[in-house]
């Protein structure tokens, strides 16, 4: 084993400390302190040092986030402090019974509550995930375990280390000798959708909901699989040594649940911000009712509200049953399932050619919205359901967002009803559908299929891509049906005479659309790459790739001839490399690249191109901008495009690296943060002046 030099040891510690701070700022505080490119460079340096000298790897090294070697099996361990479950309440009456029981308990304990001193409670959203117990010794994470039966769980430390919102070391100068933290691991809704999409492409069984996906992930023997699924974590309780007293007076020993949550935040944990103090049951009920609707807008799944007595001394007096604390209860929302009648099965063809069966049914009100259709993913799911004509089906919202058909009530099936299956031919172009042996998806492989073309055009014109104002679904449908457009490149050859063939397209509308299409030529390189619709290349991956490859030619050559140059990029996996190879190897795609270049849609880095232009606006070039509030002169996307075209950078959060905050009407918390960090604050008029310089 190589022994590290003093310089290497010192440098590794510096990198570990800085990268841990950057991870905490990004994943917990949502306030980045390092540019992505800077973080990636420092991270690669650390990995290289630790690879050369494994003895440099510390218990809190950020390299552990990658996941280590697969475990042979999980070890059963005894919890230092039991993980109690919670009693549930499904109605106001059950909540009132629980509260009355607490009052009686306190009265019998000679802790009589006056009318002006009712039991103060704290309400926290019940995250629909999996409970974890985290153990820290002298501020370092040494063990993580699942709940199990509450007394014993399974040790999953290597898996927990891959969750970026779990601190590997506490953000405290003088941490306690030991600390037990309890919280909920979960998979955000968007991540859940992405995981299922990948599983579907691999012909693997889909997860039913984010909670099941999280549970299955935490029990993976390979930590690298856990790392790839990007779990998140909210902490909600702490257990400290009885004799521990902080040296820092600002970090007082918590005396109630609200101060415990604040303590956890200071120590470096991510805490759900929606906790609320309630003085009485009426306020608890109002909180519960308010979030029954609002929770559907959250980026994670919730299934209720946890109500706790806030004061720790009162909690101790009230005590526990054998299974649960008496001082807490979980108010559960009703199950979001409903039965309805199937009307018909239709089929969608996406921009990749994938054919998706869609169940259309009698409208039902579910999880806050009215729904009348649900996708069935693929033929395998359709066969599993064994769907027949006029079936009565049970529908729910997966992750409380996406409607899905859970099962069929076969007892209500009409006699002689026909079984439903995927068609043999594409419902759009009538070409024979193809299903590869290693894929779950049935596809139309006709590049001239109108559905594939419509999907490609919609994606190219979408906000995250080229953001072409006025090029909506109805216009695209007409352009394809009338044969005016048969490729993305055809959009840039449109003129008023062509557009005059479309319904409700006057001269002014045509002028605006042509102008919007021409303006899109100047969009940033990463938007164009994303707009091409390459499988697995989302907005984030497009930005990563375009930082490494400043034009489409270099990316194409690397994909086809030097794929290791792509796979070596942090965060880029083999699936993305294979997808790029497949896309660039198709003659029709190479032809599209040539056509776009010929008509002036340059698939290259405008910033690097502009850096060689002596007319580059130095007031904007290489400067970092954040936008807040509602603008009058621009839409946000227009403003972003202008900045990116001038070589500037757009960030979503204020940090020490931000050069300007552009403000509109009704500014939010970013304005205060900019003031605190002395970031220069400008309005729209100020920005226009910058453009003139």
Residues belonging to the active site: 126
Between CA 219 and CA 211 the distance in angstroms is: 13
The answer to whether 356 and 376 have CB atoms below 8 angstroms apart is: yes
Residue 237 burial (CB count, 10 A) = 18
What are 360's strand-pairing partners?
A: 344, 373
Task: Give the helix, strand, coil percentages of the chain, each rounded to 5.
Answer: 40, 20, 40
Residue 132 burial (CB count, 10 A) = 25
CA distances 460 to 121, 323, 496, 640, Å, are 51, 55, 21, 17
Contacts of 337 (CB under 8 A, 6+ apart): 366, 394, 395, 396, 406
- Residue length of the chain: 693
Residue 351 burial (CB count, 10 A) = 18
Between CA 378 and CA 658 the distance in angstroms is: 46
Between CA 311 and CA 143 the distance in angstroms is: 29
Tokens for 300?
A: 């994670």
Between CA 96 and CA 82 the distance in angstroms is: 27
Between CA 13 and CA 9 the distance in angstroms is: 6
What secondary structure, in 3-state letters, does 286-352 show?
Answer: HHHHHHHHHHHHCCCCEEEEEEEECEHHHHHHHCECCCCECCEEEEECCCCEEEEEEEEEEEEECCC
The answer to whether 210 and 190 have CB atoms below 8 angstroms apart is: no
The answer to whether 159 and 226 have CB atoms below 8 angstroms apart is: yes
Tokens for 394?
A: 């049970």
The answer to whether 73 and 221 have CB atoms below 8 angstroms apart is: yes
Dmax (CA) for the chain in angstroms is: 88
Tokens for 145?
A: 């375990």
The answer to whether 577 and 559 have CB atoms below 8 angstroms apart is: yes
Between CA 528 and CA 533 the distance in angstroms is: 9
DSSP class of 425: B
Phi then psi dihedrals of residue 428, to 5 deg? -100, -50
Contacts of 252 (CB under 8 A, 6+ apart): 246, 259
Residue 61 burial (CB count, 10 A) = 22
Contacts of 100 (CB under 8 A, 6+ apart): none
By C-alpha distance, which of 78, 88, 64 is closest to 324?
88
Tokens for 647?
A: 């070589």
């Amino acid at each position: 084993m190589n022994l590290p030099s003093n310089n290497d040891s010192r440098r590794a510690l510096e990198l570990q400390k800085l990268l841990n701070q950057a991870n905490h700022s990004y994943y917990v505080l949502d306030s980045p302190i390092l540019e992505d490119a800077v973080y990636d460079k420092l991270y690669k340096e650390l990995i290289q040092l630790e690879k050369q000298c494994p003895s440099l790897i510390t218990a809190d090294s950020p390299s552990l986030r990658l996941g280590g070697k697969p475990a042979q099996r999980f070890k059963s361990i005894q919890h230092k402090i039991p993980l109690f479950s919670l009693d549930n309440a499904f109605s106001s009456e059950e909540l009132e019974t629980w509260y009355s029981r607490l009052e009686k308990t306190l009265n019998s304990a000679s802790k009589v509550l006056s009318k002006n001193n009712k039991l103060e409670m704290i309400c926290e959203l019940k995250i629909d995930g999996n409970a974890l117990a985290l153990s820290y010794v002298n501020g370092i994470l040494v063990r993580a375990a699942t709940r199990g039966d509450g007394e014993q769980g399974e040790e999953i430390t290597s898996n927990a280390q891959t969750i970026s919102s779990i601190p590997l070391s506490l953000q405290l100068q003088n941490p306690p000798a030991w600390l037990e933290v309890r919280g909920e691991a979960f998979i955000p809704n968007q991540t859940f959708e992405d995981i299922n999409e990948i599983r579907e492409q691999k012909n693997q069984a889909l997860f039913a909901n984010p909670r099941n996906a999280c549970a299955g992930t935490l029990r993976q023997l390979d930590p690298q699989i856990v790392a790839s699924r990007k779990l998140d974590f909210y902490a909600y309780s702490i257990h400290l040594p009885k004799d521990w007293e902080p040296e820092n007076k600002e970090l007082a020993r918590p005396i109630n649940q609200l101060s415990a949550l604040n303590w956890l935040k200071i120590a470096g944990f991510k805490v759900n911000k929606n906790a609320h103090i309630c003085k009485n049951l009426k306020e608890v009920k109002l909180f519960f009712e308010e979030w029954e609707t609002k929770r559907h807008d959250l980026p994670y799944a919730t299934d209720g509200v946890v109500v706790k007595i806030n004061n720790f001394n009162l909690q101790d007096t009230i005590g526990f049953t054998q299974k649960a604390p008496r001082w807490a209860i979980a108010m559960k929302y009703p199950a979001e399932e409903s039965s309805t009648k199937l009307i018909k099965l239709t089929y969608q063809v996406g921009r990749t050619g994938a054919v998706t069966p869609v169940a259309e049914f009698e409208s039902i009100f579910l999880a806050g919205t009215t729904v009348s259709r649900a996708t069935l993913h693929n033929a395998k799911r359709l066969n599993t359901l064994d769907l027949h004509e006029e079936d009565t089906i049970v529908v729910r919202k997966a992750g409380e967002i996406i409607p899905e058909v859970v099962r069929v009530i076969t007892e209500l099936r009409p006699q002689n009803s026909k079984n439903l299956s995927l068609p043999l031919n594409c419902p759009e172009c009538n070409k024979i559908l193809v299903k590869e042996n290693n894929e779950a998806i049935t596809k139309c492989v006709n590049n001239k299929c109108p559905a594939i073309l419509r999907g490609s055009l919609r994606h190219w014109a979408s906000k995250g891509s080229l953001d072409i104002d006025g090029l909506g679904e109805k216009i695209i449908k007409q352009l394809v049906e009338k044969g005016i457009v048969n490729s993305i490149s055809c959009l840039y050859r449109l003129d008023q005479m062509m557009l005059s063939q479309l319904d409700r397209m006057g001269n002014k509308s045509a002028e605006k659309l042509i102008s919007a299409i021409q303006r899109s030529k100047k969009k940033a390189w990463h938007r164009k790459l994303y707009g091409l619709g390459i499988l697995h290349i989302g907005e984030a991956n497009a930005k990563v790739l375009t930082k490494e490859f400043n034009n489409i030619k270099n990316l194409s050559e690397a994909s086809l001839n030097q794929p290791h140059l792509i796979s070596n990029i942090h965060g880029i996996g083999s699936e993305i490399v294979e997808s790029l190879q497949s896309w660039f190897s198709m003659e029709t795609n190479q032809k599209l690249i040539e056509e776009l270049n010929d008509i002036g849609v340059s698939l290259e880095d405008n910033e690097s191109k502009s850096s060689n232009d002596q007319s580059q606006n130095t007031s904007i070039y290489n400067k970092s901008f954040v936008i807040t509030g509602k603008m009058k002169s621009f839409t946000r996307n227009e403003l972003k495009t202008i900045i990116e075209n001038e070589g500037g950078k757009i960030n979503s959060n204020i940090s020490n690296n931000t050069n300007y905050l552009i403000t509109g009407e009704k500014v939010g918390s970013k304005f205060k943060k900019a003031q605190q960090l002395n970031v220069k604050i400008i309005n729209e008029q100020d920005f226009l002046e910058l453009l003139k310089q």
